[in-house]
Amino acid sequence: MAKIFQRDGAWWIDFKDAQGIRHRKKVAPHKRVAQEILDGILGNVARRLHLGIIEESPISFAEFANKVWWERIKHTLKPRTRERWEGIIEQHLKPAFPGALRAITKAQAESYIGKRIESGAAASTVNREMTVLKHILSRSALWEYLSVNQLSGLKPLREPSGRTRFLSVEEIARLVAACEHSESPYLKPFVIVAMNTGMRRNEILSLTRKSVDWTNRLATLTDTKNGEARHVYLNEAAYDALKSLPPRIDGGLFPLGPNQVTMLFVRAAKRAGLQDCRLHDLPSHVRELPGHVRRRRTRPPSAPRPQGRPNDHALQSSVGRLPASGCRRRGARG
């Protein structure tokens, strides 16, 4: 039974919301004001129960994103995704939408998209940012902070077709030589493993000694991009590269972070004089290996091999074998 009551000179309201949860709140110094507030709340509860009408919250976008949405979903995200989404919210979405959550419309979202494109952001970058914004709006409607998701049906931008960059035999030799002079002795083994297995950056960094079957030369990946575990065959070059790494107390193989290994590679590629070469290009040199899940390619399987792509023999000859002395410790600082 809803009611108002007085305590310590102030008037309180006592009621149950549409979910049956009881609330007690101090609302006003006068009885008449407290009664009007209670009547308004009860009216909203009745409309929600009998008509399905949701009273939209006046909460700001920034407050909802930080205190409600982020606290509820951050534990469901992978570390890298959590870091990326948090950066999108703080650097782009909160400055672009400073008002109330319920004030965000498709027109505002499309205006944001236009400004980001004009500033030089790629279509893929803008689409990732809009994915976060649409996730926030969809959850706000699901959790009944909004009556409807205003961005429902907003289509992503068309992204250009992907690129595939193959290194020549000479470029591979120069890259491996440049990796030998890196600040980190782990960069060369990392690059060799990437070129010979097709594993992604974070998959290689997640490898441990226990995740590698040294007898059968298989690496087991449990934390993959698509969420499915898989086994990757290690050829001779990849096997020797991993075998050369010194043992670590934590059982890991590469004591590098994602951003750190990317910066190390960028510096090595620059020393090698390579143009338009990214860390993501290294797995493109791998053919289908036993146990390796085929990734999406921009080139159909029946298409001829791109000019300049080295064959397996040339690739392994270029990367060579690591010295028997293993990985020298010169520090892993990027």
> What's the CA gap between 229 and 221, in Å, rounded?
5
Same domain? 173 vs 315: yes
Domain count for the chain, please give it: 3
Residue 191 · residue 184 · CB < 8 Å:
no
Q: Are residues 131 and 176 in the same domain?
A: no
pLDDT at 115 over 90: yes
**Same domain for 25 and 127?**
no
Long-range contacts of 74-83 (CB under 8 A, 24+ apart): 78/223, 80/202, 80/258
Amino acid in the structure at residue 262: T
Which amino acid type is present at position 160? Answer: P
- Residue 157 backbone phi and psi in degrees, to 5: -70, 150
Percent of the chain clearing pLDDT 70 (strictly above): 80
**pLDDT of 93 higher than 90:** yes
Together in a domain, 184 and 314: yes
pTM attached to this predicted model = 0.58
Residues 281 and 202 in one domain: yes
Look at residue 151 and tell me if it is in a domain.
no
The pLDDT tens digits of the residues spanning 132-179 come to 999 999 999 888 888 888 898 899 999 887 667 788 889 899 999 999
Domain holding 308: CATH number?
1.10.443.10
Residues 292 and 235 in one domain: yes
231 and 307 share a domain? yes
Residue 177: domain span:
169-319
Whether 157 and 123 have beta carbons less than 8 Å apart is answered as: yes
Q: Is residue 290 part of a domain?
A: yes
H/E segment holding residue 142: helix 123-142
pLDDT of residue 107: 93
